């Protein structure tokens, strides 16, 4: 994940999210993009494809017929 | 009655002995509300008539028999993201100014069934995030120790209200520290219980898999009394745990000799160095625990930044999902701080989220392994004394990782207790973390600390100066 984002990429992400931002809000969002990118990098570890997420899907007693 | 503000435990004993009337107790709290809340802004909605009616009903029942339990006749408040039947629940937002739920949240229902006296709804950051905000329908709560300073949030009104004795206990919610932060900066006790122990049903979400409901009160003992009522399985909360409920007061007063306390020094000394006052509070707390006979051990975990990244990515994404519809259609109606947090969701991909949730499993396993052979671990709750309310940074989450989020990520129970006073006479705190569903041990350690230190005998100065006859 790059540590900065250009206007076109930001506009794409915002459009995809359905958000309509002012020019000022977009400028501020660009300033914190590096922080998000750093977080996204931090959670990626060499763990292999078999490593499961913490949130599992399953059936509780009340889900069973 | 005495001018001193009783703890819940002390008030319960007096009520049971018929030496304190719930009506008198409620009137004393209301008097403090009228004297102080114009400045503190702890309440967004005061239910004075209802409180007096409930207090009278409690008094009648107790005089006819005996209290139903230690919370019978005790004045409490609920954070304003907790649904309350026939009482406005605004979540601190313009979106819900006219919202009057037709049912109680499970936690509100349980406290009512225990005979508490509901004083009203307490100030929160909008939908329990961001803040302090000055562009919401109600002003932010202010710190009773110095009203120029922040309470932390998002359970800001609960923190201020308990510290100033407007209520004896209250409900907070905690997604990344929203119970423990205000507890720390307002000099009170607040516990985020194990994930799933207290039902989230009827409470507005911040981030589903990180949200916890818990009590805030003057002492750990009071929190234990409240948790006793709040804990338990609820089929209306899909994450609710189905486990036997122990006696949360069982280990109070039994001492902590031989207990093993792990200290995560690197969190507060390296990863995010705390203020001098906070460090002094932590050092003094460790000396107290040593004097009480506990064994201290060093604990090493992944850097605080790893925990913060994991929790923040999950939190940002789940919040953006919860409030997506309003974000798309009425973004301008959110407070500026909440809006800024919500739009971060556009920058986090689905894969980022899943990687964060995979990291979460690893981090939880790491904490589990580190706590093998330990009873609790300790670190800071907040990095420093409360900042000025108009100087709270907006984007702290990127460069100054919080000390509380790791235990939302892990779901482990964590309590903040007052550890003295630092710069400007403002409270500092330590955070104690237990193993899942081992709240009795956590309360035992926190209670021993409170009883060995003098900090529970000092209330904010404004309580005595502004309420003097």
Please report the pLDDT score of residue A65 as a whole number.
86
Shortest Cα distance, chain A CAs vs residue B436, angstroms:
15
Confidence of residue B469 (pLDDT cuts 50, 70, 90): low
Tokens of B332: 């301008």
Instruction: Indicate the residue of B309, B331, B357 with minimum beta-carbon distance to A39.
Output: B309
Nearest to B308 by CA among B234, B417, B199, B383: B383
What's the pLDDT tens digit per position in B201-251? 999 999 999 999 999 999 999 999 999 999 999 999 999 999 999 999 999
What's the pLDDT tens digit per position in B146-176? 999 999 999 999 999 999 999 999 999 999 9
- Chain A residue with the nearest C-alpha to that of B401: A39
- Residue B414 DSSP symbol: E
Mean pLDDT of B285-308: 98
Q: Give the burial string for B326-361 (b: 16+ CB within 10 Å, else e).
A: ebeeebeebbebbbbbbbbbbbbeeebbebbbbbbb
Does A49 lie at the interface with B, CB-CB under 8 angstroms? no
Nearest to B199 by CA among B230, B245, B226, B227: B230
Please say if B154 is a catalytic residue.
yes
End-to-end CA distance of chain B: 14
Q: Give the burial string for B450-463 (b: 16+ CB within 10 Å, else e).
A: beebebbeebbebb
What's the pLDDT tens digit per position in B110-135? 999 999 999 999 999 999 998 999 99
Instruction: Indicate the residue of A32, A39, A53 with minimum beta-carbon distance to B357.
Output: A53
Q: Facing residues of B117 across strands?
A: B75
Mean pLDDT of B411-416: 98
Instruction: Indicate the residue of B309, B347, B354 with minimum beta-carbon distance to A13.
Output: B347
Q: Catalytic pick from B93, B154, B335, B416?
A: B154
Interchain proximity A39–B312, CB inside 8 Å: yes
Q: Give the burial string for B271-309 (b: 16+ CB within 10 Å, else e).
A: bbebbebbbbbbeebbebbeebebeeeebebbebbbbbb
d(CA B371, CA B378): 11
Peptide bond into A54 cis (omega under 30): no
Interchain proximity A42–B331, CB inside 8 Å: no
Tokens of B165: 């004795």
Strands annotated E in B97-188: 117-122, 169-174
Interchain proximity B313–A39, CB inside 8 Å: yes
Side-chain-facing half-sphere of A40: CA atoms under 13 Å = 21
Does A26 lie at the interface with B, CB-CB under 8 angstroms? no
Does A15 lie at the interface with B, CB-CB under 8 angstroms? no
d(CA B231, CA B246): 10
Instruction: Indicate the residue of A19, A42, A55 with minimum beta-carbon distance to B346.
Output: A19
Please say if B79 is a catalytic residue.
yes
Q: Tokens 């990344």: give the residue.
A: B176
B262, pLDDT greater than 90: yes
Please report the pLDDT score of residue A63 as a whole number.
81
Suggest the residue from A54, A58, A64 to mutate for an interface test with chain B (most B CBs closer than 10 A).
A54
Ordered DSSP codes for B218-271? SSHHHHHHHHHHHBS--TTSTT--------TTTTTTS--TT-EEEE-HHIIIII
**Which residues in chain A show pLDDT less than 70?**
none
Instruction: Indicate the residue of B316, B359, B395 with minimum beta-carbon distance to A43.
Output: B359
What's the pLDDT tens digit per position in B339-389? 999 999 999 999 999 999 999 999 999 999 999 999 999 999 999 999 999
Nearest to B220 by CA among B429, B463, B460, B384: B429
Which residues in chain A are contacts of B320 at CB distance < 8 A? 17
Mean pLDDT of B315-320: 98
d(CA B155, CA B216): 9
Tell me if residue B415 falls in helix, strand or coil.
Answer: strand
Which pTM was predicted? 0.97
Which residues in chain B are contacts of A5 at CB distance < 8 A? 347
Which residues in chain B are contacts of A38 at CB distance < 8 A? 309, 398
Interchain proximity B360–A21, CB inside 8 Å: no
Q: Catalytic pick from B93, B156, B178, B275?
A: B178
Nearest to B183 by CA among B154, B140, B226, B221: B154
Sheet holding B414-421, edge to edge: B43-46, B117-122, B75-79, B169-174, B212-217, B189-192, B414-421, B427-433, B376-380, B260-263, B295-298
Interchain proximity B357–A54, CB inside 8 Å: yes
Please report the pLDDT score of residue B449 as a whole number.
98
Q: What percent of chain B has pLDDT over 70?
A: 99
Kindly provide the ipTM of the predicted complex, given to two decimals. 0.96
Please say if B457 is a catalytic residue.
no
Chain-wide mean pLDDT for chain B?
97
Q: Do strands B189-192 and B43-46 pair parallel, antiparallel, or not at all (unpaired)?
A: unpaired
Please report the pLDDT score of residue A58 as a whole number.
86
Q: Do strands B117-122 and B169-174 pair parallel, antiparallel, or not at all (unpaired)?
A: unpaired
Q: B31 near B467, Cβ under 8 Å? A: yes
- Chain A residue with the nearest C-alpha to that of B411: A54
- Chain B residue with the nearest C-alpha to that of A31: B395
Please report the pLDDT score of residue B396 as a whole number.
85
Tokens of B432: 């104690």
Q: Tokens 């992400």: give the residue.
A: A13
Which residues in chain B are contacts of A40 at CB distance < 8 A? 309, 313, 348-349, 352, 355
B2, pLDDT greater than 70: no
Element spanning B433, H or E: strand B427-433
Interchain proximity A32–B235, CB inside 8 Å: no
């Amino acid at each position: 994940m790059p540590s900065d984002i250009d206007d076109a990429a930001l506009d794409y992400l915002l459009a995809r999210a359905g958000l309509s931002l002012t020019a000022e809000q977009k400028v501020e969002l660009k300033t914190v993009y590096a922080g998000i990118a750093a977080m996204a990098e931090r959670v990626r570890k060499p763990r292999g494809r078999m490593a499961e997420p913490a949130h599992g899907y399953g059936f509780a007693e009340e889900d069973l017929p | 009655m005495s001018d001193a503000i009783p703890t819940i435990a002390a008030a319960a004993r007096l009520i049971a002995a018929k030496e304190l009337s719930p009506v008198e107790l409620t009137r004393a709290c209301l008097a403090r509300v009228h004297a102080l809340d114009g400045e503190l802004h702890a309440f967004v909605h005061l239910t004075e008539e209802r409180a007096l009616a409930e207090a009278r009903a409690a008094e009648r029942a107790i005089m006819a028999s005996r209290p139903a339990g230690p919370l019978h006749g005790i004045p409490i408040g609920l954070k304003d993201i907790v649904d309350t039947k026939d009482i406005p629940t605004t979540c601190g937002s313009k979106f819900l100014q006219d919202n009057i739920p037709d049912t109680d949240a499970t936690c509100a229902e349980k406290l009512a069934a225990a005979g508490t006296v509901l004083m009203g709804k307490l100030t929160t950051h909008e939908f329990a995030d961001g803040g302090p905000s000055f562009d919401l329908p109600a002003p932010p709560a202010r710190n009773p120790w110095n009203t120029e300073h922040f309470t932390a949030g998002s359970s800001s009104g609960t923190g201020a209200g308990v510290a100033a004795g407007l209520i004896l206990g209250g409900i907070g919610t905690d997604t990344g520290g929203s119970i423990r932060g205000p507890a720390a900066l307002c000099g009170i006790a607040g516990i985020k219980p194990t994930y799933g122990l207290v039902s989230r049903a009827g409470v507005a979400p911040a981030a589903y898999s990180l949200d916890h409901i818990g009590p805030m009160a003057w002492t750990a003992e009071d929190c234990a009394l409240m948790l006793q009522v709040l804990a338990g399985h609820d089929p209306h909360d899909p994450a609710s745990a189905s486990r036997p409920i122990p006696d949360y007061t069982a280990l109070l007063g039994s001492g902590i000799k031989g207990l093993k306390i792990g200290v995560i020094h690197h969190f507060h000394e390296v990863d995010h160095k705390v203020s001098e006052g906070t460090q002094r509070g932590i050092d003094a707390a460790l000396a107290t625990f040593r004097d009480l006979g506990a064994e201290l051990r060093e604990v090493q975990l992944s850097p605080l930044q790893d925990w913060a990244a994991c929790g923040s990515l999950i939190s940002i994404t789940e919040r953006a999902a919860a409030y997506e519809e309003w974000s798309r259609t009425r973004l301008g109606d959110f407070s500026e701080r909440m809006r800024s947090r919500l739009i971060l969701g556009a920058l986090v991909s689905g894969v980022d989220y899943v990687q964060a949730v995979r990291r979460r499993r690893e981090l939880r396993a790491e904490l589990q392994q580190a706590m093998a052979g330990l009873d609790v671990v300790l670190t800071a709750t907040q990095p420093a004394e409360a900042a000025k309310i108009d100087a709270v940074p907006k984007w702290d989450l990127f460069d100054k990782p919080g000390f509380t989020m790791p235990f939302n990520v892990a779901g482990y129970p964590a309590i903040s207790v007052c550890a003295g006073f630092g710069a400007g006479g403002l409270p500092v705190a330590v955070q104690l973390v237990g193993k899942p569903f081992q709240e009795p041990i956590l309360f035992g350690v926190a209670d021993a600390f409170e009883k060995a230190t003098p900090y529970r005998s000092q209330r904010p100065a404004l309580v005595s100066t502004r309420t003097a006859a």
